[in-house]
Amino acid sequence: MVVTPDTDWFSDPLGELFYQAQSPDEGALVTAARNFGFVFRSRTPETISVVEMGVPTTYELLAVLDFNNVRKRMSVIVRNPEGKLTLYCKGADTIIFERLHPSSTKLMEVTTEHLNEYAGEGLRTLALAYKDLDEDKFEEWRERHHEASIALDDREAKLDAIYEEIEKDLLLIGASAVEDKLQDGVPQTIEQLAKADIKIWVLTGDKQVDVSSCSSRKSLQCPTETAENIGYSCNMLREDMKEIFIVAANTAEEVREELVNARKKMSPESGDEPPIQKSRLLGKKSQVVEDEKVDGEYGLVINGHSLAFALQKDMQLELLRTACMCQAVICCRVTPLQKAQVVELVKKNKKAVTLAIGDGANDVSMIKTAHIGVGISGQEGMQAVLSSDFSFAQFRYLQRLLLVHGRWSYLRMCKFLRYFFYKNFTFTFVHFWYGFFCGFSAQTVYDEWFITIYNLMYTALPVIGLSLFDQDVNDRWSFQYPQLYAPGQLNQYFSKMAFARILLHSCYSSLILFFVPWAAMCDTVRDDGKDIADYQSFALLAQTCLLIAVSVQLGLDTYYWTAVNQFFLWGSLSVYFAVTFTMYSNGMYLIFTSSFPFIGTARNSLNQPNVWLIILLTTILCSLPVVAKRFLFIQLKPTINDKVRHKVRQAKAVPLPPPRKFPRRRISTRRSGYAFSHARGYGDLVTSGRFLRIPVKTRPPLFPHSETPVADSTPQTYRTISEEAQSP
């Protein structure tokens, strides 16, 4: 236990005393002990000073047997003022009970019942034990401990063996329970993420109670465990699930049998071999375990001991198949290494992006293994934050990170790529069609200056504005309809099929942009009778049609217009015409004759009405397929985005009713949850609370046939979007 007091309590006993603890559990235990009259005062490398019921006492600290995630316990050896040697040990109940003296059997049974009750309350439990040591045996052990601590090879293994020698035949003191409340908004956040079709696995170190005597595993009407209570309290496990499988076997074969039986219950037709999709990317072979269809929702709870067998190489795919068929997966009593192994298993064998979120040092390996690591800053320290890609103070902010900013960013990136490919493919294909008329020589269809600054000036800023500010719906509607996140998971915004559609659209647009101006200018004269069908006039017309057509396409792709978007788009077009008239002027030709040969082309071509009619016609023909396709799909096969955007337009069309005014009255409320107060100098009490499960309510579909615009002006908090629902 690493705790440091912050004030001089001896000089001012009534002053406030604060503790800086390595973990919240240690701080809570020390604070609770202080409230009962045992005040931890100070600690040095050799001593520990406490005040026991007002009597100052100093213990000599002889050895510290450090905690690690394999030992799951920590011990100290101290000498009291009378010279008595004692070892005190705290740790996980299962670990402590294995090292107790037979005389503690009866007390262990009573303590086990208490631990089950505490776990049912959702509390984090620890067991405590002690052992009186003989002076001679301790000195002998101390010498071997010193040799192990300075060993150059296998130091950790040697220290663990030395610790194991002395940490046996312990006498049970009792157990402690510390409330570890869920942060505000955790159940709502997990419920929203589940609606977004995001698979959520909980990897926790909380304890597991033996549930082999449960009469009904489906409903879990038995003494449950802390991890299961967390699952219920955060809406991961629900009573309406068909079955919740609990894997708590002690051998590899039993674990395999339980996993196979669970998989067969969920999908009787599933075969022994997992469905694997093989692929090759950049010369590397990879295999992905495909999802299997399941009728209904199931849950899986597995403890760390069974998980160790399930993570063996010959059983990994069986664990992955069974877990992926479940709606909720909870792994309890897992070590940091096991957390990282579970994440690596999913990352390697599933075609999915993994995100790991944690708040403590034991989550660092998991956070670093996942594709995206998120750290929560709080009382657990800053190790998780320093190892993460994103960090914030509350778990509920994950909802905004994924459903709002994550979805917006992915949508913007896909739009950026689609538009980037479209404008450049169209630009290039026009050259291809021109090759049939120039004999595939080095002659370009555009002016050389236009080719140089097409991507640099004319089309760069508008697409940047799109990729920075565009959003299909605002954050409020994104929260209310988390199903909007699903199309991104299905690669509907950008895929091989989407790329093929872009290629076809670019090919069609290039045909329009080349052959319509060519046909319109062939054998054409100006108003004054002069010939307009020259190379320079055609090049100017083709590049002007191209730039306006791709700008209109950008406007069709933009859902959310801002002043910046408008400035970038209209500014780029203005810059194009300004640069064109400048470079094609007489002055530039006189200064740089060889570099600006298009003298007077802009002035002589763009003042003709038929030129602007050609520009208008090509723009309409290029945009017509996109507009027609979107109109037909919205009417015949609307997507989730189309439905929600229609809902947004309905909400904007109906004015909100005026707010009702109520007479103000004074209402006194209790500000504190305690029924009594404490004198100055005491710390916070460690309280307890029960978790209440909220019954599942039926949620209305997005477009019920009987809804009215007035009733829909204020969206509901949670809704389920039905893909088959028809638009009103």
Amino acid sitting at position 263? R
On whether the CB atoms of residues 495 and 464 are closer than 8 A, the answer is no
Domain boundary among 626, 648, 670: 648
Q: Which domain holds residue 535?
A: 410-648
pLDDT tens digits, 170-223: 999 999 998 877 788 888 888 899 889 899 999 987 655 433 333 233 333 333
Domain boundary among 628, 648, 668: 648
Q: Which two tokens stand for residue 543?
A: 């590049």
Does 240 fall in a domain? Answer: yes
Q: Does 132 share its domain with 191?
A: no
On whether the CB atoms of residues 255 and 312 are closer than 8 A, the answer is no
pLDDT tens digits, 639-675: 999 999 999 888 887 776 666 665 555 544 444 333 3
pLDDT tens digits, 568-601: 999 999 999 998 888 877 666 566 666 666 676 7
List the helix and strand counts (H, then E) for the chain.
26, 18
Domain boundary among 632, 648, 664: 648
Q: Does 159 share its domain with 261?
A: no
Q: What was the pLDDT predicted at 420?
A: 94
The tally of CA atoms less than 13 A away on the side-chain side of residue 611 is: 21
Q: Does 455 share its domain with 598?
A: yes
Binding positions for ATP are 26, 67, 90, 124, 204-206, 333, 339, 362-363
Does 654 fall in a domain? Answer: no
Does 232 fall in a domain? Answer: yes
Q: Does 165 share its domain with 245?
A: no
Q: Does 155 share its domain with 199?
A: no
On whether the CB atoms of residues 403 and 482 are closer than 8 A, the answer is yes
Q: Which of 299, 275, 277 is nearest to 199 (CA)?
A: 299
Does 567 fall in a domain? Answer: yes
Does 199 fall in a domain? Answer: yes
- Helices within 196-286 (DSSP H only): 226-233, 252-266
State whether residue 285 is helix, strand or coil. strand
CATH code for position 114: 3.40.1110.10
Does 510 fall in a domain? Answer: yes
With a CB cutoff of 8 Å and minimum separation 6, the contacts of 407 are 478, 484, 485, 488
Distance CA 15, CA 18 (A): 10
Q: Does 551 share its domain with 496?
A: yes
The lowest-confidence range among 339-348, 506-515, 669-678 is 669-678
For residue 694, is pLDDT > 80?
no
Does 210 fall in a domain? Answer: yes
Binding positions for Mg(2+) are 359, 363
Does 397 fall in a domain? Answer: no
Q: What is the mean predicted confidence (pLDDT) over 88-104?
A: 91
pLDDT tens digits, 18-48: 777 777 778 888 888 888 889 998 888 899 9
Q: What is the mean predicted confidence (pLDDT) over 100-109?
A: 92
Q: How many domains does the chain have?
A: 3
Q: Does 486 share its domain with 529?
A: yes
Q: Does 198 share its domain with 120?
A: no
With a CB cutoff of 8 Å and minimum separation 6, the contacts of 306 are 247, 248, 249, 250, 255, 258
Q: Does 483 share its domain with 534?
A: yes
Q: Does 464 share its domain with 565?
A: yes
Q: Model confidence at 225, in pLDDT bands (50, 70, 90)?
A: low
Q: Does 636 share its domain with 561?
A: yes
Q: Does 256 share its domain with 227?
A: yes
Binding positions are 26, 67, 90, 124, 204-206, 333, 339, 359, 362-363
Q: Model confidence at 704, in pLDDT bands (50, 70, 90)?
A: very low
